Amino acid sequence: MDVMSDPILDPLNPEQRAAVTHGDGPLLILAGAGSGKTRVLTHRVAYLIRDLAVPASAILAVTFTNKAAKEMRERLDRLVGKERLAELTVGTFHGFCARLLRREGPLVGIDRSFAIYDEADQRAVLRQAMAETNASEKVFAPGAISSVISSAKNELKGPADLAASPKGQLDRIAAIVWKRYDELLRDNNAVDFDDLLLLACRVFETSDRALEKWQDRYQHILVDEYQDTNRAQYVLLRYLAGFKQNLAVVGDDDQSVFSWRGADVRNILDFERDYPNAKVVKLEQNYRSTQRILDAAHSVVRNNAARKEKKLWTDRQGGSDIVVMQAYDESHEAELVAREIERLQREGEAHGTRDVAVLYRTNAQSRAIEDTFRAFGLAYQIVGGVSFYQRREVKDTLAYLRLIRNPQDAFALARVLNTPPRGLGDKTRAALLAAAREHEISVGEALEKAEMITTIPRRQQDALISFGKVMTRLRSAGGQLALPRLIDELVALTGYQTYLKDGTEEGEERWANVQELRTLAEDYIALPQEEQLPSFLEEIALVSDVDEYQEAKPAATLITMHAVKGLEFPVVFMTGMEEGVFPHIRAIDSGKESELEEERRLCYVGITRAKDRAYLTYARRRSLFGHTNMNPPSRFLMELPSEGVELRGDIETEERDSWADLDWERDRTRYEERKQARRDAMLAGLPAAWTGRATKQRTAVDHETRFRAGDRVLHPSLGEGMVVSSVARDDDEEVTVAFPDKGVKKLMASFAKLARAESPLGR
DNA sequence: CCATCTGCTTTTTTT
DNA sequence: AAGCAGATGG
């Protein structure tokens, strides 16, 4: 080895090095996709320790997912070694806040043994809060109320703030429900995800002593994906950074895709204003993709008005063309993808299925792909969707464990009280809760003292008492047994094992999942006995979908465009490139340019995941929950560059033959008829004032149009373009056409001399 | 109290 | 298409 070689600084380009070696004070690293931001973060940590003599224990690195945290830890292991690594704090925002609250919780009225409620628990609490405050679920969807509360919490507001300036009836109701919702959470010694951040901020707001303590503890803070931070996270970092402002953040405004979750791009855009001494470093060299891929991604994202202009570059000039494929429907689309994967493997292009990712906008789209891949015998792994931890049997087992740890957790109790069936229904549960409240003890304690509940029938009381005895035994076992053994005891004593193993195949599968959970628990046996259960429950509460992704698994990865952020693959398929699917219908319907721009950034994120090859596919018809739609190709396809993109409409002759049998016109007419019938049915139930609008729409539909979405047309001056949509207007036709270089134009058919172009995508 | 049936909502994205 | 809440009958 070279005497002068330096593993920390040598592998860096000049910009990366500038970021890594920056000393004290705020640092903003604008890191484009694939520009080595994780490398910069980890090398900076190593540099701080080695060259600036910062103690490892004084460094905090925060990420959004456990996966990202884990990756950082792995790289740091190589750079700074095990011992230093153990002293570092590397974790997610939520994980860090949870740890903080385990120590400082009492300052803000939280017991140290609080439970973290997931979405399902949250929903149960919310519904109870709604019932108790007489908020009708018919009028206000729990989901809507929940999202109002969540965004308000992310903005560090309380129910009173919301009540003080409501934007509508929903806000007013939400404020009332919220108050009760929070009380219920506290009664159950529980917090939700948003509380973790909110309460952590409140700790610092409340206690100068705590603030100083934590500020002293961390001399340097590093933050990944800063563009995704919300108000609470922003404030938390401001608190922690204190006067020193040794805060290094990495991010990319083009990859901001979580505004719906409260993320505020302004945090990164205004960093220099918030921290006036900030040093700014831009990383624009991409080490991942070919120039073709970068050009395509840029050509799409540059259509956003609200962005800082920048362009990535790479040494990898040229590269394979971007491929756009048209399919008949979603299963045909999946088939095209499967065949292409097989072809790539056959021709040695992809080393294995693990090189491939199939992306989609919504989880629901994975189904068609799964089915087809299974039929093709192609190995795949799904990231997200219904995760392991959401399975009923896993949640049940966890609920038992939660109840053992936290006897106040009434929602965990509700889940397991009658699972397996013990003849304990709503009435009995209500009596149990009432007894607990009356004697001012937890529900868990009330259960173990069920003899005193006399308001219920003998039979129920007996069942309650015997279940109480089981829980007493389990609680004492919890203090002595290693975690996996505790799980064994639990499933045996409660009868859950017998209940699951009902002889059916499904039962076996469920039982296998419980065993899988037990295997996961084995990881905790090295910890001191009393910490095993708490750590286990905490980590499980904070796992995310991406965390389940296994790099080494020899299988194609099926994943949403959101979850794929931060990953990379040699070959990427982006499916469902249709208006209404991607961009999502809700973004279109919102009428907000900002929402469409977020979809476009998502498209950018998707394309830039690809190292060597990117495919974009769309289907002419798509069945998504219930009925079939014929969506025009996505506007993002029109935004691809005119060069370096290959359009494939006829992949294999077989398909073309089967397509020839399809009567597009007939299908379309039928579909329109059905749609009209539905609309009529709906309108029949509406006041007369509404129907005027529908009549107009009907005449519009009646008139046949000459052009249809997907058609290629030639314009005398604008050149060749693709029809986005065509609507009948009076006696004319208004055609919206996307021209590769000139953008999207609205034209009147009779006026603009549009000619049909030989369509490379047609049949 | 439990099992079964029916009709209804749900789904955009997630820590 | 499917999972779930609410209704119904045992």
CATH topology of domain A692-756: Thrombin, subunit H (2.40.10)
Mean pLDDT of chain A: 82
The residue-averaged pLDDT of A350-372 equals 85
Q: What's the pLDDT at A664?
A: 36
pLDDT band of residue A539 (cuts 50, 70, 90) is confident
Q: What's the pLDDT at A690?
A: 25
Q: What's the pLDDT at A504?
A: 72
Instruction: Report which of residues A733 and A610 the model is more confident about.
Output: A610
Q: Is A661 a catalytic residue?
A: no
- CA at A563, C1' at B15: how many angstroms apart? 12
Pick the range with the lowest mean pLDDT from A54-58, A67-71, A609-613.
A67-71
Q: Is A592 a catalytic residue?
A: no
- CA at A361, C1' at B12: how many angstroms apart? 7
Nearest protein residue to C5's C1' (by CA)? A137
Query: Closest nt to A120 (CA→C1')?
Result: C4
For A342-351, the CB contacts below 8 A with 24+ separation are A342/A376, A342/A378, A344/A571, A344/A613, A349/A571, A349/A612, A349/A613, A350/A570, A350/A571, A351/A570
Name the residue type at position A627: H
- Active-site residue identified among A42, A63, A255, A397: A255
pLDDT band of residue A244 (cuts 50, 70, 90) is very high
Name the residue type at position A640: L
Contact indicator for A756, A711 with CB cutoff of 8 Å = yes
The answer for residues whose C-beta is within 8 angstroms of residue A759's C-beta and 6 or more apart is: A649, A710, A711, A712
| A493 CB neighbour count, 10 Å cutoff | 16
Query: Closest nt to A138 (CA→C1')?
Result: B9
- CA at A143, C1' at C4: how many angstroms apart? 15
Query: Closest nt to A623 (CA→C1')?
Result: C1
- CA at A562, C1' at B14: how many angstroms apart? 9
- CA at A508, C1' at B3: how many angstroms apart? 22
User: For residue A67, is pLDDT > 90?
Assistant: no
- CA at A334, C1' at B9: how many angstroms apart? 28
Q: What's the pLDDT at A683?
A: 39
Q: What's the pLDDT at A753?
A: 61
Pair of tokens at residue A555: 């299988």
- CA at A171, C1' at C6: how many angstroms apart? 28
Query: Closest nt to A429 (CA→C1')?
Result: B1
Pick the range with the lowest mean pLDDT from A304-308, A563-567, A658-662.
A658-662
pLDDT band of residue A127 (cuts 50, 70, 90) is confident
User: For residue A250, is pLDDT > 70?
Assistant: yes
Q: What's the pLDDT at A124?
A: 84
Q: Burial level of A283, CB count in 10 A (0-12/13-18/19+)?
A: buried
Contact indicator for A395, A514 with CB cutoff of 8 Å = no
CATH topology of domain A319-386+551-662: Rossmann fold (3.40.50)
- Percent of chain A residues past pLDDT 70, beyond the cut: 82
Q: What's the pLDDT at A684?
A: 40
User: For residue A285, is pLDDT > 70?
Assistant: yes
The residue-averaged pLDDT of A551-571 equals 86
A428 CB closer than 7 A to any strand B atom: yes
Q: What's the pLDDT at A743?
A: 55
Query: Closest nt to A421 (CA→C1')?
Result: B2
A55 CB closer than 7 A to any strand B atom: no
Query: Closest nt to A542 (CA→C1')?
Result: B15
A600 CB closer than 7 A to any strand B atom: no
| A603 CB neighbour count, 10 Å cutoff | 30
Spacing of C-alpha A614 from chain mean position:
22
Nearest protein residue to B9's C1' (by CA)? A141
Among the listed residues A359, A277, A268, A319, the one whose alpha carbon sits nearest the alpha carbon of residue A31: A268
The residue-averaged pLDDT of A366-377 equals 84
The residue-averaged pLDDT of A229-243 equals 95
User: Is omega for the bond preceding A570 within 30 degrees of 0, making it cis?
Assistant: no
Helix spans in A525-584 (H): 529-541
CA gap A163, A174 in Å, rounded: 8
CA gap A493, A490 in Å, rounded: 5
Cα four-point dihedral sign A532, A534, A537, A542? negative
A452 dihedral zone (left: phi>0; alpha: psi -120 to 50; beta): alpha
Q: Within window 512-571 on A, which residues have Cβ closer than 7 Å to strand B?
A: 542, 544-547, 560, 562-563
- CA at A422, C1' at B3: how many angstroms apart? 14
**A1-25+32-51+66-88+276-287 and A319-386+551-662 share one fold:** yes
Q: What's the pLDDT at A681?
A: 41
- Active-site residue identified among A118, A192, A194, A225: A225
A424 CB closer than 7 A to any strand B atom: yes
- CA at A624, C1' at B10: how many angstroms apart? 12
> Cα torsion for A231, A233, A239, A242, to the nearest 10°?
-110
User: For residue A705, is pLDDT > 50?
Assistant: yes
Helix spans in A639-741 (H): 653-660, 664-684, 688-702
Nucleotides of C under 7 A from a protein CB: 1, 6
Among the listed residues A625, A631, A704, the one whose alpha carbon sits nearest the alpha carbon of residue A669: A704
Contact indicator for A156, A198 with CB cutoff of 8 Å = yes
Contact indicator for A378, A350 with CB cutoff of 8 Å = no
**Which of the 8 DSSP states describes residue A263?**
B
Among the listed residues A188, A122, A120, the one whose alpha carbon sits nearest the alpha carbon of residue A153: A122
User: For residue A593, is pLDDT > 70?
Assistant: yes
Which residues share a beta bridge with A452? Answer: none
Classify each residue of A201-233 as buried b or exposed e, where b means 16 or more C-beta atoms within 10 Å of its C-beta. Answer: bbbbeeeeebbeebbeebbbbbbbbbbbbbbbb
pLDDT band of residue A746 (cuts 50, 70, 90) is low
Instruction: Report which of residues A682 and A193 the model is more confident about.
Output: A193
Q: What's the pLDDT at A279?
A: 95
User: For residue A252, is pLDDT > 90?
Assistant: yes
Place of tokens 């991409």: A286
Contact indicator for A91, A69 with CB cutoff of 8 Å = yes
**pLDDT tens for residues A464-480?**
888 999 999 999 988 88
Q: Is A255 a catalytic residue?
A: yes
Task: Give the relative orientation of helices A529-541 and A483-493 as an angle to the nearest 10 degrees.
Answer: 80
Q: What's the pLDDT at A256?
A: 93
Instruction: Report which of residues A570 and A716 the model is more confident about.
Output: A570
The residue-averaged pLDDT of A687-694 equals 25
pLDDT band of residue A727 (cuts 50, 70, 90) is low
pLDDT band of residue A648 (cuts 50, 70, 90) is confident
Q: What's the pLDDT at A221?
A: 97
3-class DSSP state of A186: helix
Query: Closest nt to A364 (CA→C1')?
Result: B11
Instruction: Report which of residues A705 and A517 the model is more confident about.
Output: A517
Query: Closest nt to A386 (CA→C1')?
Result: C3
Query: Closest nt to A387 (CA→C1')?
Result: B14
pLDDT band of residue A40 (cuts 50, 70, 90) is very high
User: For residue A135, is pLDDT > 70?
Assistant: yes
Extents of the domains making up chain A: 1-25+32-51+66-88+276-287, 114-192, 319-386+551-662, 389-538, 692-756
pLDDT band of residue A321 (cuts 50, 70, 90) is very high
- CA at A604, C1' at B11: how many angstroms apart? 23
Pick the range with the lowest mean pLDDT from A57-66, A329-338, A700-709.
A700-709
Nearest protein residue to B1's C1' (by CA)? A423
The residue-averaged pLDDT of A415-434 equals 83
Which residues does nucleic strand C approach, with CB less than 7 A? A 137, 625-626
Which residues share a beta bridge with A729? Answer: A732
Q: Is A37 a catalytic residue?
A: yes
The residue-averaged pLDDT of A399-404 equals 89
Q: What's the pLDDT at A718?
A: 64
Tell me the CB-side half-sphere exposure of residue A589, using CA atoms within 13 A. Answer: 5
CATH topology of domain A389-538: PCRA; domain 4 (1.10.486)
Does CATH number 3.40.50.300 belong to domain A1-25+32-51+66-88+276-287? Answer: yes
Nucleotides of B under 7 A from a protein CB: 1-3, 9-15
Q: Within window 128-167 on A, which residues have Cβ closer than 7 Å to strand B?
A: 141, 143
User: For residue A713, is pLDDT > 80?
Assistant: no
CA gap A223, A90 in Å, rounded: 10
- Percent of chain A residues past pLDDT 90, beyond the cut: 40
Greatest mean pLDDT among A39-43, A66-70, A71-75: A39-43
Considering the domain delimited by A114-192, tell me its CATH architecture. Orthogonal Bundle (1.10)
Q: Is A38 a catalytic residue?
A: yes
- Active-site residue identified among A15, A16, A17, A37: A37
User: For residue A730, is pLDDT > 60?
Assistant: no
User: For residue A754, is pLDDT > 80?
Assistant: no
Q: What is the number of helices (H) and of strands (E) in chain A?
A: 31, 22
The residue-averaged pLDDT of A549-578 equals 86
- CA at A388, C1' at B3: how many angstroms apart? 27
The residue-averaged pLDDT of A120-134 equals 84
Pair of tokens at residue A208: 């100068």
Helix spans in A419-528 (H): 426-438, 443-448, 458-478, 483-493, 496-500, 505-521
